[in-house]
Chains A and B, each alone.
Chain A
Amino acid sequence: MAPILNVEAAGGSHVGLVRRRNEDAIHVGPFLIAIADGLGGHVAGDVASSTAIEAVRRYDQVVTPDALSVALGQAVDAANKALRQRTEAEPDLAGMGTTLVAMLKSGETVALANVGDSRAYLLRGTDPLHGQTTQITEDHLYKHLVADAADVPNLPDRLARFLDGRPDGRSPDITLLTLAPGDRILLCTDGLSSYVPHDQVHTTLANSVTPQEAVERLIASALAHGGPDNVTVAVIYVASRSNGQRKQLER
């Protein structure tokens, strides 16, 4: 019989210590968790990320496990369409773009979608101290697309994929994951992953008692490292239900 899982999530966002405006956006709901990072250097990065998050919010609902990837694909498509409608209505916004990392869950299955360089990490193992935190998304940067990106100035770290509403919208990576008791999942923008050393992210995720505590400590770490960028994190803890809860559920 499939284990009955208890999934708890928390999220938070901080403008950081340098930027004037928070161009990240986040949604933490019962089924969908999503983070978007508006592209800097473009006009209205904050409009892009919040438009994308507004659009995917509609997909925060029950779906069967076998429909997860399609529902999440439609959510990403909806985010791209929303960006297009927004720029059509307000041409001054043309050129705005955003990353998107999202997780949609159904029972013990989750689908992850990623466009850009916001990340998902998984810490697996019932004893977190002995587990590892591994990145389970690939950053869509040119250095991961072509072997010779470094031969062109500034190309390696540029985004090869992001959402900007263009009609030939960029395809997200969608991967499926089966949850196990003890799993901890972290979604974050590069305001965390670019500045806080990986070991510290792992230790914080492993040692925090609740997702809310992990969120607060991770954001505090980013600020302690200078908070150069907006930082947004969502943390998901998976546990098996206690016997009492299981009985309640079966009744």
Chain B
Amino acid sequence: MHSRYLDIAAKIRDRIEANEWEPGAKLPRLDDFAAEYGANRDTIGRAIAALEAEGYVWAVQGRGIIVRYGTIRPRRPRGNLVKRNATGTGYSFPSATSQEVWKHHIPPVAAAEPLNDPRIAKLLKVEPGTQVMRRFRVTGPEAEPPFQINISWIHPRAATVPGVASQAPGPGDWLYRLENAGHWPISWIEIHRARMPSKQEAALLEIPTNLPVLEIVRVGTSGADGQPVEVTEYIVASDRVETMHVLHRDESAQDPWPDDSSERTEG
């Protein structure tokens, strides 16, 4: 026999798909649904949990049940160009464009913290446990749910550069300050991995915990001494991004095939 909560979940799902509530809007409270469907609050709660697992809604303690971007989740291409930001001194890193200032979804934090992740510590070339200036932001394009978590670790030799610990108006302003203080030009590499989010990451990105994330670790190397000056970890909701890559021919694949190669396969 079909479960009552699944019937109710299907009804609410149909209403979401019919755009009864805009993405980002709050659903009626559990008690209201309970009255409407003549079910008890617990059954409604199970229906909502089912819809949450399907990615339709997102239940936030203290805020209610929010409709996610339903069937249309805006996706961003992500390339490999770092641009000067048009609004001030600073950079736009992929996936942001040069004209954008991304929205902060929580107040940004900049403070010294122990760097305990051995992988990040190794990339920054510090001992695990070292006190390191950490910048923490949750950002994304305007009018969209949070796109990515950004955690930057700034090498101790550069952490005293004025302005690096403050939140300047433009994006990437702290990198401009690092470069101005003698690290020009910083060059970057990125390491991309897919993984599951932690419970806290899922909450910050407003995604279910069963949606994978793209984890990008960027290492910025100082142009002055050739050593790492910052390591930034991005955690991006995987349904919001697609990465774009041009493949290049190795030296071994540069020259045209010899004329006899087709004959060889025939023979």
Contact = CB atoms under 8 A, between A and B. Distances in A.
Interface of A: 69-70, 72-74, 77, 80-81, 84, 111, 136-138, 140, 142, 144-149, 151-152, 155, 160-161, 167-176
B99 A138 contact: yes
A144 B76 contact: no
Contact of A173 (B24, B81, B97, B246): B97
A186 to B, nearest CB: 15
A137 B99 contact: yes
B245 interface: yes
Overall SS of chain B's interface: loop
A171 B97 contact: no
A218 B23 CA distance: 39
A170 B75 contact: yes
A171 B100 CA distance: 12
A111 B120 CA distance: 38
A168 B73 contact: yes
Contacts of A144: 81, 97
A168 B75 contact: yes
A160 B246 contact: no
A80 B72 contact: yes
B142 A138 contact: no
B179 interface: no
A142 B79 CA distance: 9
A149 B246 contact: yes
Nearest to A139: B97
B100 A175 contact: yes
B74 interface: yes
A74 B69 CA distance: 10
Nearest to A81: B72
Given A173-B97, A173-B99, A174-B141, A160 B72 contact: no
A142 B19 CA distance: 33
